[in-house]
């Protein structure tokens, strides 16, 4: 059993290496290349799923029910899945991809459609955890192996869940900011959207950390709809309201983060306060250009490709962990590491100064360009 | 005589003032209340911020007004804005391409307006559905073109126009003022303008005096499409990051602004200046709730309440 | 020959929208059967019926409002609020479930009545009123919960997935609602007044028809249907969520208009809406079978709407 876990960790670690070294330039910090951290650091035994019952000969029909491709991250995730389908075309007879356009009700229908088309494996990126629970449970109980990616369902009725943790983002980003400020200062929080799980989880985790430090004060929390423009508008208003009392800007994503940096620069600020970013080139790029201390922790779209690979393992009857958390590089601007939060990479190396601001990082596809990306795969 | 008509004829002087200056009262009350609650609200910088943010919405409203005057509405404006913004990033991202970007983006806007106008006049499709359909269509084409993730830089000159100020006065505000003046003159001082009001206010009369109502209507939608594209270009310069949702919410906000500003959805009544006051209310509300530090739930509720209250100040004959 | 021609003219003039929709349903089905052997199966047909339930119920409610010449843009927020209240109040308790269902039905009706009341007494266009109340309801929803909340008693999902005589329970319920509404509109005086009000509001009032009562009933019914739809949604989705109804605001209007009900009011009917719903659901299902990316799906949807609505000619138009 233990051997299997380690084997798996090794394979996954190798997969992660190819992902994480793509952007490495600095000899000192080339990014994390080891086995999945959550397994190494886990304080409880991992649940390993026996998949012998799903073992069958290929080529397979795989169904992927996507929540949407309404933003660049999700487009990158889809690209990563298509790339994996291309790379494993010898084992895949057909890859059916549906798209729910962010409508949970439509996604339930999509999964129903996929089941009725007799897929061998179901990959689901749920629009919301609760909405997809009933239908995915039905599929799972009917004997179809289920791989969840990015967003899970509420129950445990699935084979494996591929993710990176929102809580890790919240804890790490907040801890870094607290230590960067020496445990004392005023923070404004700019999350995405009220009532959306990514925002809810990341805010909750960050607040757990902030609450431990009596001299850290959250001045204000305002939602930005993950829009760079709204992030800029909100930050501009907060600058008028609080002025230079703002010592740190916590974002749950880089989209509004880039807008927030612009607002500070346009307000004439030169010594920019620490900021947290994720996923988006614009945020880290602006931080580097404006010499702003920054923390970046991606939620890698490459998890899409990993879902396909793990799915093929299931169909080959190999055991897989019930929850698989991808290792993510902590990137920090040079000289801004703190006691608890060390960098795997320098943001100066990680940011792509030559690429547009709207580029999504961490797709795992070398030189990924969303507008030109296209691969052949069995459809 | 119907009851509503009666009540209108029995207006007291107070009601008269409310009816004529309702929007100004609402705006004044908002400003005074916020200024009392938050000292940072009425500072030069914050006012400059609000004006900078008001311009894109204002430009869309200028286009929405003539459309509503001819008994229509344009739901495709946000989609046109996003498409124009995507176009802005599709070239080299250098100023040398500023003109081609402008030409392509504005052409898409004008063409969308033309399709809207033709569907509405020649095929008698309701404006709501026609513009909803072109909105969806344009969104699909934009997605198909960018494969979902727009990528590229906005030419620097648009960044200047969209986010810089000239001694505290935003460039985009200057554009707004020029456009507002031009289209106000167009609506109030030209034959075209008079025909717009007559076409929307009294279609039967318009037909009797030989106005080609179809042409007037089409022209209004073309103007709206073109201005939405321009607003999209300017908005793309506001942050320089373009996604597929630039301008989301502008379709309903622009209609709401116009109606709050006294432009009647039943056509033929209202002005651009009124619509711009409506836009000002939306921008002030957005800024005020931040300044006062209200949580998101109340921000949404207050916006909803302000919309209804402001619109209610215009007493109408029928709904 | 002439009689055939006159029947054709009659059909296209009087029932053109409906015929187009049924024709499109037929063509799409044929196309689907040719393209995929899994499309024309019984289980897929049942899927489509099952999936269409919430949209059908919401759109039936919307139909009545649109026949009065109004529109209800608060419907999406109403569905969201009702869904979180339903599962939040129930919290897994079968007894509380009945309390919760009654609560949301009453609330839905009440919100509808408030919408009607505000547009009657404040004399604000329903588009603006319901946009405002929609924002307020969304704010209240977020005040109540920002995360999915509560759960339903075991077996509640039978409502979404259960079968009656081999047909989905939801589809059977939809038919019942449809028949009741159709009979109400055609046979009950108050139902016929809905048409009269939408056709000519002033005229209807001059004739002494109870215009206010008509509006209260139409909007109240629409609000209540939003609550009913939320019951089926919660059964399908397992729990209420703060944004679950968002899409219904605009999607509920498309089937109504595609089905031949005019946004200007006074004409149309629920049979067209029902067919419109089936057309939209069929189209979504078929596009999945084609493995078309959403980008192209949007283009196809836009085109189908334009084709469907430009086939028949409206005699008058308004918002």
Q: Residue C3 has what pLDDT?
A: 54
Q: Which residues of C touch A196 (CB under 8 A)?
A: 243
Beta carbons within 8 Å of C14's beta carbon, 6+ residues apart:
none
A-contacting residues in C 57-116 (Cβ below 8 Å): none
Alpha carbon distance C300, B136 (integer Å): 9
Mean pLDDT over all residues of chain C?
86
CB neighbours (10 Å) of residue A192? 22
Nearest CB to C44; choose among A68, A116, A130: A116
Torsion of Cα atoms, A9 then A14 then A18 then A19, to 10°: 0
Q: Which residues of B touch C76 (CB under 8 A)?
A: none
Note the pLDDT tens digit of each residue in A261-301.
999 999 999 999 999 999 999 999 999 999 999 999 999 99
Distance in Å, alpha carbon of A99 to nearest chain C alpha carbon = 6
Ranking B78-92, B121-135, C108-122 by mean pLDDT, the lowest is B121-135
Distance in Å, alpha carbon of A74 to nearest chain B alpha carbon = 9
Q: How many domains does one find in chain C?
A: 1
Q: Residue C312 has what pLDDT?
A: 56
C179 falls within a domain = yes
CB contact under 8 A, B300 and C127: no
User: CA dist A165 to A69, A160, A343, Å?
Assistant: 21, 15, 17
CB contact under 8 A, A130 and C237: yes
Instruction: Please name the residue of chain B whose CA is at the shortest distance from the CA of residue A373.
Output: B147
Q: Which residues of C touch A204 (CB under 8 A)?
A: none
Query: B166: exposed, middle or buried (C-beta count within 10 Å: 0-12, 13-18, 19+)?
Result: exposed
CB contact under 8 A, C143 and B297: yes
Among the listed residues C69, C22, C235, C268, the one whose alpha carbon sits nearest the alpha carbon of residue A131: C235
B10 falls within a domain = no
Q: Which residues of C touch B314 (CB under 8 A)?
A: 124
C4 falls within a domain = no
Nearest CB to B163; choose among A223, A234, A266: A266
Enumerate long-range contacts of B166-174, CB under 8 Å, 24 or more apart: B168/B44, B168/B48, B169/B48, B169/B51, B170/B48, B170/B51, B170/B52, B170/B55, B172/B52, B172/B55, B172/B56, B172/B234, B173/B51, B173/B52, B173/B54, B173/B55
Alpha carbon distance C298, C259 (integer Å): 20
User: Which of B133, B141, B148 to mutate to probe the C interface, most C CBs <10 Å?
Assistant: B133
Report the percent of chain B where pLDDT is more than 70. 92
Instruction: Please name the residue of chain A whose CA is at the shortest distance from the CA of residue B297.
Output: A194
C14 falls within a domain = no
CB contact under 8 A, B239 and A228: yes
Assign residue C242 the CATH number of its domain: 1.10.3470
CB contact under 8 A, A371 and B297: no
Residues of A engaging B, defined by a Cβ cutoff of 8 Å: 69-72, 74-76, 78, 194, 220, 222-223, 225, 227-229, 231-234, 236-238, 240-241, 255, 258-259, 262, 266-267, 280, 282, 356-360, 369-371, 373-374
Residue B180: pLDDT over 50: yes
B173 falls within a domain = yes
Mean pLDDT on B162-169: 87
Q: Which residues of B touch C147 (CB under 8 A)?
A: none
B-contacting residues in C 22-61 (Cβ below 8 Å): none
CB contact under 8 A, B319 and C134: no
- Quick one: pLDDT band at residue B216, thresholds 50, 70, 90? very high
Instruction: Please name the residue of chain C whose CA is at the shortest distance from the CA of residue B3.
Output: C205
Q: What tokens does A115 get?
A: 């089941």
Q: How many domains does one find in chain B?
A: 1
User: Residue A234: in which H helix or E strand, if any?
Assistant: helix A228-242
Domain that holds residue B182: 19-312
Assign residue B253 the CATH number of its domain: 1.10.3470
Cβ proximity of A282 and A300 under 8 Å? no
Q: Show the domains of chain A with their CATH numbers.
A: 2-164+300-327 (3.40.50.2300), 166-297 (3.40.50.2300)
B250 falls within a domain = yes
Terminus-to-terminus CA distance in chain B, angstroms? 16
- Quick one: pLDDT band at residue B9, thresholds 50, 70, 90? very low
B11 falls within a domain = no
Q: Which residues of C238-257 are buried (b: 16+ CB within 10 A; e: fewer)?
A: bbbbbbbbbbbbbbbbbbbb
CB contact under 8 A, B307 and C120: no
C317 falls within a domain = no
Q: Which residues of B touch A75 (CB under 8 A)?
A: 147-149
Say if residue A28 is preceded by a cis peptide, omega within 30 of 0.
no
Check the CA dihedral C294-C299-C300-C304 and report its sign.
positive
Segments of chain A with pLDDT less than 70: 1-27
Q: Residue A26 has what pLDDT?
A: 46
Task: Give the phi and the psi of residue C209 in degrees, each rounded to 5.
Answer: -75, 145
Ranking A7-11, A156-160, B183-187, C203-207 by mean pLDDT, the lowest is A7-11
B183 falls within a domain = yes
Bigger pLDDT: B225 vs A363: B225
- Kindly state the DSSP code that residue A244 receives in the 8-state scheme: G
- Residue A98: strand pairing partners: A65
C125 falls within a domain = yes
Half-sphere exposure of C214 (CA within 13 A, CB side): 28
Count of A-B CB contacts under 8 Å:
111
B-contacting residues in C 86-125 (Cβ below 8 Å): 118-120, 122-125
Q: Are strands A185-190 and A160-163 parallel, antiparallel or unpaired?
A: unpaired
B131 falls within a domain = yes
Domain that holds residue C93: 19-311
Q: Is C239's Cβ below 8 Å from some Cβ in A?
A: yes
Q: Which residues of A touch C297 (CB under 8 A)?
A: 99, 101
Q: Residue B147 has what pLDDT?
A: 77
Among the listed residues C62, C68, C60, the one whose alpha carbon sits nearest the alpha carbon of residue C275: C60
Report the percent of chain C where pLDDT is more than 70. 91
- Quick one: pLDDT band at residue B25, thresholds 50, 70, 90? confident
C76 falls within a domain = yes
B275 falls within a domain = yes
Mean pLDDT on B17-23: 72
B304 falls within a domain = yes
Neighbours of C (≥3 Cβ pairs closer than 8 A)? A, B
Q: Which residues of A touch B248 (CB under 8 A)?
A: 225, 227
Q: Which residues of A touch B241 (CB under 8 A)?
A: 228, 255, 258-259, 280, 282, 357-358
Alpha carbon distance C29, C279 (integer Å): 10
How much helix, strand and coil, in percent to the nearest 5, is found in chain C? 75, 0, 25
Residue with tokens 């209340």: B33
Instruction: Please name the residue of chain C whose CA is at the shortest distance from the CA of residue B74.
Output: C319
Q: Residue C173 has what pLDDT?
A: 94
Q: Residue A171 has what pLDDT?
A: 95
A-contacting residues in C 130-169 (Cβ below 8 Å): 142, 145-148, 157, 160-161
Alpha carbon distance C302, C289 (integer Å): 18
H, E, C per residue of C266-297: CCCCHHHHHHHHHHHHHHHHHHHHCCCCHHHH
Neighbours of A (≥3 Cβ pairs closer than 8 A)? B, C
Alpha-carbon B48 to chain mean position: 20
User: Residue A248: in which H helix or E strand, if any?
Assistant: strand A248-251
- Quick one: pLDDT band at residue B11, thresholds 50, 70, 90? low
Alpha carbon distance B89, B152 (integer Å): 5
H, E, C per residue of A344-374: CEEHHHHCCCCCCCCCECCCCCCCCCCCCCC
Note the pLDDT tens digit of each residue in A140-199.
999 999 999 988 888 899 999 998 888 999 999 999 999 999 999 999 999 998 877 789
Residue B6: pLDDT over 60: no
C5 falls within a domain = no
Residue C317: pLDDT over 80: no
């Amino acid at each position: 059993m233990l051997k299997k876990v380690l084997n798996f960790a090794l394979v996954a670690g190798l997969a992660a290496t190819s992902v994480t070294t793509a952007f490495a330039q600095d000899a000192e910090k080339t990014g994390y290349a080891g086995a999945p951290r959550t397994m190494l650091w886990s304080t409880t035994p991992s649940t390993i799923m026996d998949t012998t019952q799903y073992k069958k000969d290929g080529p397979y029909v795989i169904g992927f029910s996507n929540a949407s491709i309404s933003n660049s991250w999700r487009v990158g995730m889809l690209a990563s899945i298509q790339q994996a389908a291309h790379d494993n075309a010898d084992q895949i007879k057909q890859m059916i991809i549906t798209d729910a356009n962010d409508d949970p009700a439509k996604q339930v229908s999509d999964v129903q459609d996929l089941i009725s088309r007799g897929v061998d494996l179901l990959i689901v990126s749920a629009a919301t955890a609760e909405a997809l629970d009933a239908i995915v449970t039905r599929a799972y109980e009917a004997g179809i192996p289920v791989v969840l990616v990015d967003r899970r369902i509420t129950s445990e009725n699935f084979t494996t869940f591929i993710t990176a943790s929102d809580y890790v983002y919240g804890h790490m980003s907040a801890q870094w900011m607290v230590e960067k400020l020496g445990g004392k200062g005023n923070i404004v929080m700019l999350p995405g959207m009220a009532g959306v799980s990514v925002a809810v989880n990341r805010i909750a985790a960050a607040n757990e950390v902030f609450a431990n430090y009596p001299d850290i004060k959250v001045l204000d929390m305002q939602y930005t709809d993950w829009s760079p423009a709204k992030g800029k508008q909100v930050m501009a208003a907060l600058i008028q309201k609080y002025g230079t009392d703002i010592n740190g800007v916590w974002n749950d994503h880089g989209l509004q983060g880039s807008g927030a940096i612009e607002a500070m620069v346009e307000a004439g600020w030169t010594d920019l306060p620490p900021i947290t970013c994720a996923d988006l080139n614009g945020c880290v790029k602006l931080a580097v250009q404006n010499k702003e201390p920054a923390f970046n922790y991606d939620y890698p779209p490459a998890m899409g490709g990993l879902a396909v690979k793990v799915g093929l393992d299931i169909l080959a009857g190999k055991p897989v962990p019930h929850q698989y958390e991808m290792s993510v590089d902590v990137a920090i601007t040079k000289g801004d590491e703190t006691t608890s939060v060390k960098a795997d990479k320098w943001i100066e190396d990680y940011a792509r100064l030559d690429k547009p601001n709207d580029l999504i990082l961490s797709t795992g596809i070398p030189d990924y360009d969303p507008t030109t990306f296209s691969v052949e795969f069995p459809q | 005589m119907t009851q509503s008509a009666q009540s209108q004829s029995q207006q007291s002087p107070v009601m008269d003032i409310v009816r004529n200056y309702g929007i100004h009262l609402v705006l004044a009350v908002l400003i005074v209340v916020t200024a009392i609650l938050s000292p940072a609200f009425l500072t030069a910088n914050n006012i400059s911020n609000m004006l900078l943010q008001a311009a894109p919405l204002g430009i869309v409203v200028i286009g929405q007004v003539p459309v509503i005057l001819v008994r229509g509405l344009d739901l495709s404006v946000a989609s046109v804005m996003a498409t124009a913004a995507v176009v802005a990033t599709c070239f080299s991202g250098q100023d040398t391409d500023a003109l081609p970007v402008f030409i392509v983006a504005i052409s898409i806007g004008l063409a969308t307006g033309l399709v809207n106008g033709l569907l509405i006049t020649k095929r008698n499709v309701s404006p709501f559905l026609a513009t909803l359909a072109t909105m969806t269509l344009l969104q699909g084409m934009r997605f198909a073109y960018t494969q979902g993730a727009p990528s590229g830089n906005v030419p620097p000159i648009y960044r200047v126009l969209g986010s810089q100020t000239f001694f505290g006065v935003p460039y985009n505000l200057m554009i707004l003022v020029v456009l507002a003046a031009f289209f106000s003159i167009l609506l109030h001082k030209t034959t075209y303008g008079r025909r717009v009001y007559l076409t929307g206010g009294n279609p039967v009369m318009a037909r009797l005096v030989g106005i080609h109502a179809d042409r007037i209507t089409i022209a209004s939608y073309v103007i709206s499409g073109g201005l939405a594209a321009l607003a999209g270009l300017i908005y793309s310069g506001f942050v320089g990051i373009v996604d597929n949702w630039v301008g989301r919410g502008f379709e309903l906000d622009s209609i709401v602004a116009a109606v709050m500003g006294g432009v009647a959805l039943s056509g033929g009544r209202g002005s651009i200046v009124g619509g711009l006051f409506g836009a000002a209310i939306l921008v002030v509300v957005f800024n005020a709730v931040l300044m006062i530090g209200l949580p998101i739930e109340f921000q949404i509720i207050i916006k909803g309440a302000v919309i209804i209250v402001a619109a209610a100040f215009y007493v109408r004959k029928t709904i | 020959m002439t009689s055939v021609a006159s029947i054709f003219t009659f059909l296209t003039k009087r029932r053109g929208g409906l015929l187009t929709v049924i024709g499109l349903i037929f063509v799409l089905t044929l196309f689907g059967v040719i393209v995929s052997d899994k499309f024309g199966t019984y289980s897929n047909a049942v899927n489509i019926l099952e999936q269409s339930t919430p949209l059908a119920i919401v759109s039936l409610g919307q139909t009545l409002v649109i026949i009065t010449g109004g529109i209800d843009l608060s419907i999406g927020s109403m569905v969201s609020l009702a869904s979180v209240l339903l599962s939040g109040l129930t919290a897994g308790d079968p007894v509380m479930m009945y309390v919760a269902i009654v609560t949301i039905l009453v609330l839905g009706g009440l919100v509808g009545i408030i919408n009607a009341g505000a547009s009657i007494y404040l004399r604000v266009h329903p588009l603006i009123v319901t946009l405002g109340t929609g924002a307020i309801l969304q704010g209240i929803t977020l005040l109540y919960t920002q995360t999915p909340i509560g759960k339903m008693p075991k077996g509640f999902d039978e409502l979404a997935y259960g079968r009656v005589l081999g047909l989905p329970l939801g589809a059977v319920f939809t038919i019942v609602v449809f028949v009741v509404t159709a009979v109400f509109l055609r046979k009950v005086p108050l139902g016929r007044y809905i048409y009269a009000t939408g056709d000519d509001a002033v005229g209807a009032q001059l004739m002494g028809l109870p215009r206010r009562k008509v509006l209260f009933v139409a909007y109240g019914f629409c609000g209540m249907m939003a609550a009913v739809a939320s019951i089926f949604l919660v059964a399908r989705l397992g729990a209420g969520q703060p944004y679950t109804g968002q899409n219904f605001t605009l999607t509920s209007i498309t089937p109504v208009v595609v089905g031949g009900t005019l946004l200007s009011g006074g004409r149309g009917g629920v049979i067209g809406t029902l067919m419109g719903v089936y057309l939209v659901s069929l189209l979504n299902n078929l596009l999945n079978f084609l493995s078309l990316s959403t980008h192209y799906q949007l283009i196809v949807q836009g085109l189908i709407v334009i084709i469907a609505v430009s086939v028949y000619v409206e005699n008058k138009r308004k918002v």
